[in-house]
Amino acid sequence: MNFTELTIKQTHEGLKNKKFSSKELTLAYLQKIKKSDLNAFLIITEGLALAEADEADKKIATGNFSELTGVPCAIKDAILVEGEKCTAGSKILENYVAPYDATVIKKLKEKGAVILGKTNTDEFTMGASTENSAFGVTKNPHDKTRVAGGSSGGSAAAVAADEAVYSLGSDTGGSIRQPASFCGVVGLCPTYGAVSRYGLIAHASSFDQIGPFGKNIDDVKTVFNAIYGKDKMDATSANLEFRISNLELKGCRIGVPKEYFMKGIDKDVEKIIKNAVKKAEDGGAEIIEISLPSSEYALACYYILGPSEISANLARFDGIKYGLSEPAENLLDVYLKSRGRGLGAEPKRRIMIGTYCLSSGYYDAYYKKAQEVRELIKQDFKKAFEKVDLLFCPVSPFPAFKIGEKADDPISMYLADIYTVAVKLSGLPGLSLPAGKIGNPSAGSGHDGLPVGLQIIGNYFKENKILAIASQLEKML
């Protein structure tokens, strides 16, 4: 039996039936990670993992344990794990050690999880390819010449390559759904506020949301069940109760936004997504074409609001409070030298855009206007959900691209988020479900064998509906 190819449920059954111990399982994963050339992990937390595995084996021996007890996982390196390094993919935090656990980590530890390590991310989670990491790009397990997506590329690749049973990532503009699509795994971005952000290094506070990656819908549902809920340490977290939905594919009203199938989408991606929609229709779903007219402004809106929040959030990394501190003769030079050396090109670019948008004379023209557009985008979704239960659309207009292909063209890179940012502007939940692999590429496309994800979008706090329909559709794709 290959221990490392099992789902959460299968791993749990194996532990319960004493087919293997958590320690044996953990050692198998650690060995696999050390041999890997994907660069999915920045930090291997071997000491912590083995201690947690020993503790899990004791719990399992008593018979009093949860479905996640002893199951090895990976954590995006922007989420704090007490006593372990947390770099956020940046040189400025290269030697920073987390002083406390994020709320999601506390919850997983209470369930008996085994944390194998911290996964690679674009610097301060800014990017769509993990190429902006200060510690090297993560390779896609399906084609090592291609990116794993971003910013949670390490978390998606780790699950896809069987280097962890499941993982946690964070989604600000598409950073769970897009790498899940590129790597062929399931990734859930919950409703804004469904999962506590306490202990997540902030990128853009009105967008950031922690969520799980898994090998199937059942795994993602199990992890989401463990981490959601109100947290006194996060004022934006919501008090919700997750109930299993009885929504069936038969009779389900599925909206397909016409704006998401226009010029620019890769033909192979479009074919796979339309096939998934057809499968849902064959399963009894009612397919309704809907319009999200303000979605054409979503990308521009996001790249004003996001950088504005980045400008404020990254001001704390000044060479005094955290991480790298460059010696200088005066305080201003400490700031300039520490930030100049410690921050990479993408955070600097977004800080400058955000500072400009918030500056006197430009605030009304950019930031205020973008907030008004954000409200229009929310209203589009509100009207859509008056007619439908869920929305189906692509996650990305193209499959995983070559490493270096878009690195020198920030605008082209930003377009990777074109189908995911509107969901984040609205605070809605979205999931990437593997919909198939490109089998007969268009002439010269070279995309053969690359996964494509179907994006399933739900109304606020309707993760249960998304998971119910995705679970039924998973068996059909």
For the annotated catalytic residues, the residue numbers are 76, 151, 175
∠300-373-366 over CA atoms, to 5°?
Answer: 60
Q: Name residue 146's beta-bridge partners.
A: 402
CA distance 276 to 269: 11
Cβ atoms within 10 Å of 38's Cβ, excluding its own: 21
CA distance 125 to 469: 30
φ, ψ for residue 468, nearest 5 deg: -65, -50
CA distance 136 to 42: 9
Q: 340-370: buried (b, 16+ CB within 10 Å) or exposed (e) per residue?
A: eebbbebbebbbebbbbbbeeeeeeebbebb
Q: What secondary structure does DSSP assign to 301-362, as a single string?
A: HHHHHHHHHHHHHGGG-SSSSSS-----SSHHHHHHHHHHHHS-HHHHHHHHHHHHHHSTTT
| Cβ-proximal residues to 428 (8 Å cutoff; 6+ apart), any chain | 191, 192, 381, 457, 458, 459, 460
Q: Collapsing DSSP states into helix, strand and coil, what is residue 70? A: coil
CA distance 388 to 381: 10
CB 29 within 8 A of CB 116: yes
Q: What secondary structure does DSSP assign to 153-174, as a single string?
A: HHHHHHHHTTSSSEEEEEESSS
CA distance 469 to 418: 24
Burial class of residue 443, CB neighbours in 10 A (0-12, 13-18, 19+): exposed
State the alpha helices, DSSP H only, in 111-230.
153-160, 177-183, 217-227
Which residue's entry shows tokens 């479900």? Answer: 433
∠29-185-453 over CA atoms, to 5°?
Answer: 165
